[in-house]
Amino acid sequence: MTTRNSARRGGACVAVAVAMLVLGACDSHATATDSRTKPSSPKTSDPSSAATTTGRPLMLRNRVAGFDGRVMDGSVLGESSFCPGGLLHHERGSPDIGFPAVNELRCKDGTVRIGFGPGPDQMEHLVQTSEWRILDGSGRYEGATGDGRMIVQFEDGEPPRGVETFVGLVILEKDRS
């Protein structure tokens, strides 16, 4: 029996798969055509901090303006909406955490901090890419791990405005039980 919810979940999974393919294609194209757009964030080397194939697919889209933004409708974690109505604040990262930027997402069920950051070689580009990793979380996201790729498409003008898309895999603490 097909229900409206199962059709919606199937569509969400397809959207995550398509977004992952698009980001992979963007990265391959960028690497082949313009070395200035290569991501400069370090690779996750600690397997305990990376999501595995048992992780939940994540597709997170944020509308940003300056250092603040909102989680966009259609963001999903596994087969569920992710952080509906959530707010984000962009913070500067540091070499200590391995990422030049951090997004703190404030969701109804907790917070999650994601490290990411296109390198200085991309700062003047309207399209920027990088790797990302969950740094920490609270509530539902306490103990969560995950990583993936992100792309941001900025509009021309000030303050910087654009849409960030993060895709990857996430393991919640309850998934480890």
| Alpha-carbon radius of gyration of the chain | 16
Torsional class of 98: left (φ above 0), alpha (ψ -120 to 50), beta (otherwise): left
* CA torsion through residues 87, 89, 90, 95, sign: negative
Give the lowest-confidence range in 9-13, 89-93, 149-153: 9-13
Cα separation of 161 and 46, whole Å?
33
Cα separation of 170 and 23, whole Å?
17
Average pLDDT, the chain: 78
Q: What's the confidence (pLDDT) of residue 112?
A: 98
Q: Note the pTM of the prediction, 2 decimals.
A: 0.72
Q: How far is CA 103 from CA 4, 7, 90, in A?
A: 33, 31, 5
Counting residues of the chain whose pLDDT is more than 70, the rounded percentage is: 69
Contact assessment for residue 80 and residue 60, using Cβ atoms and an 8 Å cutoff: no
Domain extent for 66: 4-176
Cα separation of 171 and 169, whole Å?
7
Residue (of 177, 174, 173, 169) closest to 54 by Cα position: 169
Q: Which residue type does 93 have? A: G
- Number of domains forming the structure of the chain: 1
Average pLDDT over residues 42-71: 74
